[in-house]
Amino acid sequence: MSYDAIIVGAGVFGAWTAVHLQRAGKRVLLVDAAGPAHARASSGGESRLTRSLYGADAIYSRMAAHSLDEWRRLSDASSLPLFHKTGALFFFAEEGAYVRDSIAAHEELGLPLQILTQAELTQRWPQIDFAGVALGLYQPAFGALMARRAVQELVRGFVRAGGDYRLAHARPSATDNAVLVDGVETRADAIVFACGPWLGKLFPEILGARLFITRQEIAFLAPPDGDDRFEPHASPCWAEHNGQELFYGFPNLETRGFKLACDRHGPLFDPDTGDRRMSGEGMEVLRAYLRGRFPALAERPFTEFRVCQYENSANGDFLMDRHPTLDGVWLLGAGSGHGFKHGPEVGRMMADLVLGRAAPEPRFALATKGDAHRRSVV
């Protein structure tokens, strides 16, 4: 069997790229070493937030909005929901540049946004203590994506539509337009390496110093029995920017628990060998936060922990570019802790690049990837 394109990595970026190339009429092989959205993949979590708020980085607001249409279609066609429209609420200790830039971007793009005072926030979501909060920005169209399920559903659809998926380990070849799939050199017009946190291991000379894989902890809690204020119909997905830290969370989606995390970048992490047990310090940080903002949850039991990794570029921009020396080989990744929601647009843009239908986006170019970790996209 010969292929027009081979996609290495069936995470959210690779799966959507495969689907868009398939829609363009290409014969596509999708390979993954451990399976679509497996337990160690960055796309392997239970849920991911989708939101349009991005401060001055309106490119991501636009991508999130376009992607949402695709997610909704996929969810509507699926037997189980892939998208829960809970709304996405961000709240802030002060009205700084991020807030003003976000409001301007939403006006320019025509995206719905509600600006809420502290009193309005308290009236609407009394289960959250908004002490010290100046205002909130509520994005009613957005919410939660069921991440692992969505990627697996996407790959199933790709296979049903005639695409080939294979569980296999791939490595770069020294030859143009080729990849080693389980050691066998396999050729195609385009090879896309969409390998998430493994990308730097596969291309150490090019990416080893430009990707920062960090350890990230997530916890789930049992909401109080008989209290439905933390259910998806009553609680939004939310994030708090308090100037120093960013905390975020999800309602009790599909009864899996109230999800909570601190978005601080953790220590460098190896996706193959890293210890995936929650730290005691991490639990304490979350408990302290709950005591202030979610008093009804402060003493509720943790029900589950997840340790995952962000594959950060220096500033948080994605990577989507040609390999610098091998023809027909492309690099896709650096989701940087916010990539999931953009999967459909990332896949479309990557497919357009491969097909020569679009020029590269400079922010996603290899040349713009620095080697000093200074996050600016939030």
Ligand X SMILES: Cc1cc2nc3c(=O)[nH]c(=O)nc-3n(C[C@H](O)[C@H](O)[C@H](O)COP(=O)(O)OP(=O)(O)OC[C@H]3O[C@@H](n4cnc5c(N)ncnc54)[C@H](O)[C@@H]3O)c2cc1C
| Contacts with ligand X, residue ranges (CB under 6 A) | 8-14, 31-34, 38, 41-43, 45, 48-49, 169-170, 194-198, 202, 216, 218, 308-310, 333, 335, 337-341
Residue in 319, 263, 261 with CA at minimum distance from that of residue 46:
261
The residue among 109, 132, 116 whose CA lies nearest residue 56 is: 109
Residue 220: its H or E element: strand 212-221
State in angstroms the smallest separation of the CB of 189 from ligand X: 19
249 forms beta bridges with 238, 260
Minimum CB separation of residue 26 from ligand X in Å reads 19
Query: Between 166 and 291, whose beta carbon lies closer to ligand X?
Result: 166
CA distance 28 to 191: 10
Q: Whole-angstrom Cα distance, residue 341 to residue 359?
A: 22
Helix (H) or strand (E) holding 14: helix 12-23
Helix ranges restricted to H, 232-364: 280-293, 343-354
> What are residue 296's phi and psi, to 5 degrees?
-70, -15
Q: Which is nearer to ligand X, 266 or 328 (CB)?
A: 266
Cβ pair 336, 311 in contact under 8 A: yes
For the CB of residue 90, give the shortest distance to ligand X in the complex, in Å. 12
Structure tokens at 97: 């540049």
Straight-line distance from the first to the last Cα atom of the chain, in angstroms, rounded to the nearest whole number: 43
Q: Which is nearer to ligand X, 109 or 299 (CB)?
A: 109
Q: DSSP of 14-74, one letter per residue? A: HHHHHHHHHHTT--EEEEESS-TT-TTSGGGSS-EEE----TT-HHHHHHHHHHHHHHHHH
Q: In whole angstroms, how close is the CB of 14 to ligand X at the nearest point?
A: 5
Q: How far is the CB of 70 from ligand X (least distance, A)?
A: 14
Smallest separation, CB 268 to ligand X (Å): 14
Cβ-proximal residues to 47 (8 Å cutoff; 6+ apart), any chain: 144, 145, 146, 147, 250, 253, 256, 259
d(CA 10, CA 132): 43
Minimum distance, C-beta of residue 349 to ligand X, in the bound complex (Å):
14
Q: d(Cα 204, Cα 331) in Å, to the nearest integer?
A: 13
Smallest separation (angstroms) from ligand X to the CB of 225: 27
For residue 177, give both structure tokens: 């337009």
Q: Where are the alpha helices (DSSP H) in 209-314?
A: 280-293
- Residue 163, token pair as written in the block: 């695409």
As measured in angstroms, the least distance from the Cβ of 62 to ligand X is: 14
The CB-of-136 to ligand X minimum distance in angstroms stands at 18
Q: Which is nearer to ligand X, 228 or 363 (CB)?
A: 363
Give the distance, in angstroms, between the CA of residue 227 and the centroid of all CA atoms in the same chain.
30
81/224 with CB nearer ligand X: 81
Query: Could you tell me if 275 and 322 are in contact, meaning their C-beta atoms sit under 8 angstroms apart?
Result: no
Three-class secondary structure of residue 20 per DSSP: helix
